[in-house]
Amino acid sequence: MTVGFWLPLAILLSSLLPGILIFFLDESKHRLRTILNLGGASLKLVLIGLLIWGVFNEIEYETRLTLAPGMDLVLHADALSVLFVTLSTGLWFVTTLYAIGYLEDAPHRSRFFGFFSLCVSATIGIAMAGNMLTFLFFYELLTLSTYPLVVHRGTPEALRGGRIYLTYTIIGGAALLAGVAWLRAVAGPLDFTETGILASRTDLDRTTLTAIFALLIGGLGVKAALVPLHGWLPQAMIAPAPVSALLHAVAVVKAGAFGIVRVVYDVYGVEFTAELNLLLPLAVIASITIVYGSVRALFQDELKKRLAYSTVSQVSYIALGTAILGPIASIGGIVHLVHQGLMKITLFFCAGNYAETLGIHHISEMRGVGHRMPWTTLAFTLGALGMIGVPPMAGFISKWYLGRGALTAEMDWVLWVLVASSLLNAAYFLPIVYKAWFHRQEGEWPQERHFGRFETHWMLLLPPVITGILALLVGLFAAAPYSALEWARLIAFREYGQ
């Protein structure tokens, strides 16, 4: 067996094995748990570096394990999987650092970090899945591994949020399973193929394929938080801040959006999906979600809930880019996988910092917080400006390509969706930024803690500063070689056979 076989498996195991070991650690083994966490995250970064180099040099990486005749578990590296797995690995490292500081004196840390590592392993499996069977396996593993993280605190509110989350995701998983089983029965093995495995099939009934597509997108749309399947996401905000960051930027919602991209591009093929007249309904649903999420965000005083509804809106840019025919909009949707992750994880890190340092959970409590926590608030400001789409932030690049793609595809109405979304983004983010920097503090903070010469624990401060700066740099240097935008361009043109 070659390096091409072992490298995808090693990338998966670099988080899976430390996670399993952490489950058996006593709570007092803080140093060993930290070594396993950061060691696994660091090793995965090195392995991903090797993978990027290999894929760029057109080396084939695939781990294929036969479970039964015609049923293979496949880990495969292509340009799209490399983009998502790199994002997941990079953000896992900073989230691990953040979580170690956040849970420094909390109970049940071994349980938390064990499931935390399983969650990341499932996300890596989704990213590198080479067929729908493998995707489905890791997709359901992600549901099971994130539920204990959502209910980690064990409060009645956490348990209620966990029940809602599990109900939605199990129903979504059942719909996805039904769609995969039905498609497997009519079309045979479902290995992902650029331009789509169904694109050249003329022997299949189009009505059947349309029904299967609805099942697949419906199942994936739960985790992607498409309206009206989004109800679990605001309720899951009861989870600790590192979990919220993981759910919104790395794992659950991103897995759903990534799955939609896979189904449209590598199962049906984007041009065949257009022939079936399925792209326009997907674009309409994504657009409704974009506007609805932004409107709901306007009326939330709780900071994490406002960010949650923002995620409902922002993740649908990925589905929208996928649903607009043509490579230009596809570039905008694909690159937003990365851009949204960087911006949203920054915002949730900052929300966690405000809560842990000053006891702030509501926007109405944030008057003058920029003077008390300037670095955290600067990172929050960068993330917020990116979400609005202010140049040269990452979000501007995504929206620019989506708008250009819509004009090229003669879907001018999409521009109004993008404009409305940006104005709504400004309406619910700029008042927070203004209140933080330009209002004076009124009275005492709800629950202030001091951390010496730093505004908060350094392990809580460093991650949002890093990701906030990255959200700026990926916009400033979007045209640089090997940038996320260049990878997205490579993926989009390959999917269109160009």
Q: pLDDT tens for residues 392-411?
A: 999 999 999 999 999 999 99
Q: How far apart are CA 159 and CA 398, in angstroms?
A: 36
The two tokens of residue 416 are: 């109004």
Flag whether 177 is in a domain: no
CA–CA gap between residue 384 and residue 194 (Å, rounded): 35
248 in a structural domain: no
408 domain residue, yes or no: yes
Count of domains observed in the chain: 1
The least confident of 97-101, 258-262, 427-431 is 97-101
- C-alpha span between 86 and 334 (Å, rounded): 13
Mean pLDDT over 376-389 rounds to 95
Tell whether 22 is covered by a domain: no
At 492, the pLDDT band (50, 70, 90 cuts) reads confident
| Closest to 273 in 3D by CA, of 219, 334, 322 | 322
Interval 105-109 mean pLDDT: 74
The answer to whether residues 472 and 392 touch, using CB atoms and an 8 Å cutoff, is yes
One-letter-per-residue 3-state SS of 158-220: HHHHHHHHHHHHHHHHHHHHHHHHHHHHHHCCCECCCCCCCCCCCCCCHHHHHHHHHHHHHHH
pLDDT tens-digit map of 222-250: 999 899 988 888 887 777 788 788 777 77
Pick the more confident residue, 28 or 321: 321
For the segment 323-362, what is each residue's pLDDT rounded down to a tens digit? 998 889 999 999 999 999 999 999 999 999 999 899 999 9
For the record, the structure tokens of 231 come out as 């109800």
Q: Is residue 34 part of a domain?
A: no
pLDDT surpassing 90 at residue 105: no
At 63, give phi and psi (nearest 5°): -110, 120
Q: Within a domain: residue 87?
A: no
Confidence of residue 3 (pLDDT cuts 50, 70, 90): low
Domain hosting 487: range is: 290-498
Distance between CA 312 and CA 428 in Å, rounded? 14
pLDDT on residue 498:
61
User: 68 pairs with which residues across the strands?
Assistant: 71
Burial class (CB in 10 A: 0-12, 13-18, 19+), 28: exposed
pLDDT at 497: 63
Report the pLDDT averaged over residues 358-374.
Answer: 92
- What is the torsional sign of CA 183, 186, 192, 194? negative
Answer yes or no: is pLDDT of 212 > 90. Answer: yes
* Range from 164-178, 198-212, 272-286, 339-353 carrying the lowest mean pLDDT: 198-212
- Which residues have C-beta within 8 Å of that of residue 303, sequence separation ≥ 6? 351, 354, 360, 361, 362, 363, 366, 432
pLDDT for 148-175, tens place per residue? 888 887 788 888 888 998 899 999 999 9
Which residues 6+ apart lie within 8 Å of 144 measured at CB? none
pLDDT(382) > 90: yes
Is 285 domain-assigned? no
Measured CA distances, 287 to 59, 298, 420 (Å): 38, 17, 10
pLDDT of 153: 78
| This prediction's pTM | 0.93
Question: What pLDDT score does 232 carry?
Answer: 85
Q: Among residues of the chain, what percentage have pLDDT more than 70?
A: 99
Q: Which two tokens stand for residue 383?
A: 């993330």
Does some domain include residue 417?
yes
Point out which residues pair with 65 in neighbouring strands: 73
Check residue 427 and give its pLDDT. 95
- The model's confidence at residue 421, banded by pLDDT at 50, 70 and 90, is very high
